[in-house]
Structure 1
């Protein structure tokens, strides 16, 4: 009964602010996005509101997952589970890349920026996304794999200003400031109380954020809060009690706050 009440409250909040979603959709339709995560299940636990809103707005969402989640020796299982979860999130398998790099193995240790950047550069060159989304410096949970991605993206942004980053060679000249640009967003890490107040925490976000794209924050609401549950169920090997509680009580199930941190230059796309 409690979960039903929470879901109904989240739906009411999302309906009340449906005009915000329409404003966001108007400038994102037909674009490409690259979501960069550390482990299979990150997309379901933390980013489901973003993915659902982007897909609904007509954005072609791609996911780069930088490990197979093999800390428990179940990497091959988790790869298959992530494909199923992405199907639930309406992300085709062709838009999912899962990296199995000896230098980027799942574990409670930091990853080197250069090891991340070579995979980030390859994905960026292939996809040429209009927006890139990943963790912020807090990594939601403080996991060092999550925070390492943030620092690597910052490093990538700095290096791209010279037109050369981690093996990515931008010969279009856009690295010096011309051409198209990719917006870079990070998922806000909330304080403990806000993090675990479910849709009630969304009410706090409503008052704290501008709710429109721009130099500040964008808050994206889950029209269907059960999506995170359904996607997470695909990760059967990870369904332990504390993750189930996280999905139920986490604010991330009901809304994602994205903070705009800058731009990356894009090479001119063929035909544009």
Structure 2
């Protein structure tokens, strides 16, 4: 399972609730499931675009058993995917997809319960 971390990238209550729901599922089924959470970054890193790739990679190297850094080698596909959802493809989402480090790199951390 891949989910949000406790902050949920933006602090959105739905994202946070998904995280806590997955943690509960893991607690009830500790042997049969494995889950990873998307690591939320601070606002400066969040909007640093591809610049954050280097820092994300360095931080993930420190704990390779629990963290994996995933690079998006084709960020244009992110733009295309979002543009397919016309109700979502508004000006501020265009800015987000352009400047968000999550378009270019994502760090997953193993959830241990």
TM-score w.r.t. the length of structure 1 is: 0.39
Distance, in Å, in 1 between the alignment partners of 2:58 and 2:11 is 25
**Counterpart selection for 2:106 from 249, 256, 266:** 256
> Deviations 1:4-41 (Å, cap 9, x if unpaired)?
xxxxxxxxxxxxxxxxxxxxxxxxxxxxxxxxxxxxxx
Return the structure number with greater relative CO, CA threshold 8 A, min gap 6: 2
Q: Residue in 1 aligned with 2:52?
A: 201
**Counterpart selection for 1:157 from 26, 30, 55:** 26
**Counterpart selection for 1:236 from 86, 94, 98:** 86
Q: Residue in 2 aligned with 1:147?
A: 16
> Deviations 1:206-242 (Å, cap 9, x if unpaired)?
221118852x210010111111101101111111111
Q: Any runs of at least 4 consecutive aligned residues in structure 1 with deviations exceeding 2 A, and if so which?
A: none
Q: Residue in 2 aligned with 1:166?
A: none
Q: Residue in 2 aligned with 1:191?
A: 42
> Deviations 1:116-154 (Å, cap 9, x if unpaired)?
xxxxxxxxxxxxxxxx10111010011000000001111
CA offset at residue 185 of structure 1? 0.2
Report matched runs for 1:1-272 at 5 Å.
Answer: 132-161=1-30, 177=31, 181-210=32-61, 213-214=64-65, 216-262=66-112
CA offset at residue 182 of structure 1? 3.4
In structure 1, the gaps of 5 or more residues are 1-131, 162-176, 264-272
Q: How many residues align?
A: 113
Say if 1:211 and 1:219, in contact at 8 Å, map to a contact too.
no
Which protein is bigger by CA-based radius of gyration?
A: 1
Say if 1:217 and 1:259, in contact at 8 Å, map to a contact too.
yes
| CA RMSD of superposed structures (Å) | 1.7
In structure 2, the gaps of 5 or more residues are none
Distance, in Å, in 1 between the alignment partners of 2:40 and 2:85 is 23
